[in-house]
Amino acid sequence: MRPTHRLFWFACGWALMGFAAALSMWLPKEIMPTDWDAVAWQHQIERIWQISGATLAFLLIFDTVALLRMVPPSVLRQHSESLALGVWSDVELRLLHRYRRAVRLEVFDHHPSHCEAEHAHQKGLLIPRQGTEFRYRVRAKERGNHHFGSTDLLLHSPLGFWQRRLLVGEPSSVKVFPNFAAVSNYAMMSMEQQSAQLGIRLQQRRGEGMEFQQLREFRQGDSLRQIDWNATARQRKLISKEYQDEKDQQILFLIDCGRRMRSKDGDHSHLDHALNAMLLMSYAALKQGDAVGLMSFGGDERWLKPVKGVANLSKILNCVYDISPSTRASDYNSAIRSIMTRHNKRALVVVLSNIRDENADDLKPALSLLQKKHLVMVANLEEPELHDLLDKPINGFQDALRYTGTKLYMERRHAITKEFNHSGLHTVNSTPKMMPVALINKYFEVKREGLL
């Protein structure tokens, strides 16, 4: 318990009254009226001071006992079991009590330390025979398992002289996943509509790597290679073969969790953006009937063998939602040898990383080894700050040095990309925020060209 400002001012008033009683004894007789009885006046002030003190003491005792006898209200916290990284989510606190009068209180909920909150500290009134609800919002800044503590209540006494602090309610846990808002939007639209809205290009099919689906009548625009001449002879009209994208193919993500992925783009790390891109492409691949698996390296090492079906997207989420970038250098050679040992069937292996020129000498032999059995795609995250530096005006020698160094660095990275492309690798270079769209564009390109 702790005193309030109201008790402080009451105590100050009582003390001033006692000071006035003491001061009246020292007043000069010359300024007093002729009929002034100083002793009687002093006794009267003392009596008032004593009565007011006794009254104040009685009120304090009554207020203290009333506050101590108040049964703490119960608090029920309601929130989603899982949150999306960087997305605001509502938290509701419901207070239940049996008070017969209105009680003022303050509420502060101990939200996770890795979440920012809006209006977590509120003031309110507990109405008799009614439950009271408080709502606030939280936004997670880091993925993983986070915990809510107990709720901090500050109850006011009936007369407002005291405040009593109580910790009530049970702690609760919440999982923070990568931001799957893009996946939710993707699920609500058809493939063509989603492609148009996200900038995903649906490209014309080429090659013969398509599965036969059905026979139908010849349509204008069909190629002569699609005509089934045996069916045409039987039906005595042109019949075309219709193909669909190949299914039951394997997609494997190789996710770098090393120190390079600690770089920030906005509020989130490169690893956060890489997981968002992986999540969107995984949904598209599962929707197409492909199997998706993953392996992380350079920090938290996780392995998930390929799974099929959109319902298994939750397995992918649960496998990676709590991984974080480490401070170690990534060992690409060891990671690639490990994934080749664990998975033998030909697959599209997508390497999600932040590759720089100093990594190229170690990475090239490992990727060449991986190419012998798999189709390899390298998704390289670029720092958007580098593009901003190139766009800034040059106003002095230091700006010229900064521009030249950035230009040389970007040229070395582009040279690495050209070497990868010449060796038969597929590359996707993009800023972190644009990586999801760029990656899924490349996936559809591979599917429609029948490269896998």
Q: Same domain, yes or no, for 356 and 307?
A: yes
Is the distance from CB of 366 to CB of 332 less than 8 angstroms? yes
Type of residue at 78: Q
Q: What is the mean pLDDT of residues 422-427?
A: 90
pLDDT at 418 over 50: yes
Q: Same domain, yes or no, for 98 and 217?
A: no
pLDDT at 40 over 60: yes
Q: How many domains does the chain have?
A: 4
Its domain, for residue 263, covers 195-200+247-448
Average pLDDT, the chain: 83
Is the distance from CB of 349 to CB of 366 less than 8 angstroms? no
Local confidence band at 253 (pLDDT 50, 70, 90 cut-offs): very high
Q: Same domain, yes or no, for 254 and 276?
A: yes
Claim: this prediction has a pTM higher than 0.75: no
pLDDT at 296 over 90: yes
- pLDDT of amino acid 246: 54
pLDDT at 186 over 70: no
Local confidence band at 447 (pLDDT 50, 70, 90 cut-offs): confident
132-140 and 151-156 strand pairing: unpaired
Q: Which residue has the tokens 């026979």?
A: 215
Q: Is 428 or 181 the better-scoring residue by pLDDT?
A: 428
Q: Same domain, yes or no, for 333 and 228?
A: no
- Helix runs in 372-431, H state only: 384-391, 397-422
The closest alpha carbon to 155, from 89, 103, 223, belongs to 103
- pLDDT of amino acid 400: 87
Q: Same domain, yes or no, for 319 and 252?
A: yes
Q: Same domain, yes or no, for 139 and 232?
A: no
pLDDT at 207 over 50: no
Q: How many CA atoms lie within 13 A of 412 on its CB side?
A: 13
Assign residue 305 the CATH number of its domain.
3.40.50.410
Q: Same domain, yes or no, for 271 and 282?
A: yes
- pLDDT of amino acid 206: 41
Local confidence band at 209 (pLDDT 50, 70, 90 cut-offs): very low
Q: Same domain, yes or no, for 264 and 361?
A: yes
CA–chain centroid gap for 195, Å, is 25
Local confidence band at 378 (pLDDT 50, 70, 90 cut-offs): very high
Q: What is the mean pLDDT of residues 58-87?
A: 88
- pLDDT of amino acid 391: 81
Local confidence band at 90 (pLDDT 50, 70, 90 cut-offs): very high
Local confidence band at 191 (pLDDT 50, 70, 90 cut-offs): very low
Q: Is 442 or 196 the better-scoring residue by pLDDT?
A: 442
- pLDDT of amino acid 244: 54
Q: 163 in helix, strand or coil? A: strand
Cα 378 to Cα 363: distance, rounded to the nearest angstrom: 11
What is the per-residue DSSP string for 186-236? HHHS-HHHHHHHHT---PPP-SS--EEEEEEE--TT--GGGB-HHHHHHHT
Which DSSP letter does residue 178 get?
-
- pLDDT of amino acid 205: 45
Q: Same domain, yes or no, for 52 and 110?
A: no
**Cα dist. 141→16, 86, 176 in Å?**
53, 6, 9
Q: Same domain, yes or no, for 352 and 275?
A: yes
Is the distance from CB of 134 to CB of 168 less than 8 angstroms? no
pLDDT at 89 over 80: yes
Cα 76 to Cα 151: distance, rounded to the nearest angstrom: 9
pLDDT at 41 over 70: no
Is the distance from CB of 213 to CB of 243 less than 8 angstroms? yes
**Cα angle: 407, vertex 408, 411; to 5 degrees:** 85
Number of H helices, E strands in the chain: 12, 22
pLDDT at 184 over 60: no
Q: What is the mean pLDDT of residues 171-182?
A: 84
Question: Does residue 183 lie within any of the structural domains?
Answer: no
Q: Which residue has the tokens 């000071």?
A: 19
Is the distance from CB of 172 to CB of 79 less than 8 angstroms? yes
pLDDT at 190 over 50: no
| Chain segment 119-138, per-residue pLDDT in tens | 999 998 888 888 889 999 99
Could you tell me if residue 322 is left (phi over 0), alpha (psi between -120 and 50 degrees) or otherwise beta?
A: alpha
Q: Same domain, yes or no, for 310 and 340?
A: yes
% residues pLDDT > 70 (the chain): 85
| Chain segment 161-176, per-residue pLDDT in tens | 888 898 998 999 999 9
Is the distance from CB of 139 to CB of 116 less than 8 angstroms? yes
- pLDDT of amino acid 161: 86
Q: Same domain, yes or no, for 286 and 332?
A: yes
At a CB cut-off of 8 Å and minimum separation 6, what does 263 contact? 269, 270, 354, 381, 383
pLDDT at 194 over 50: no
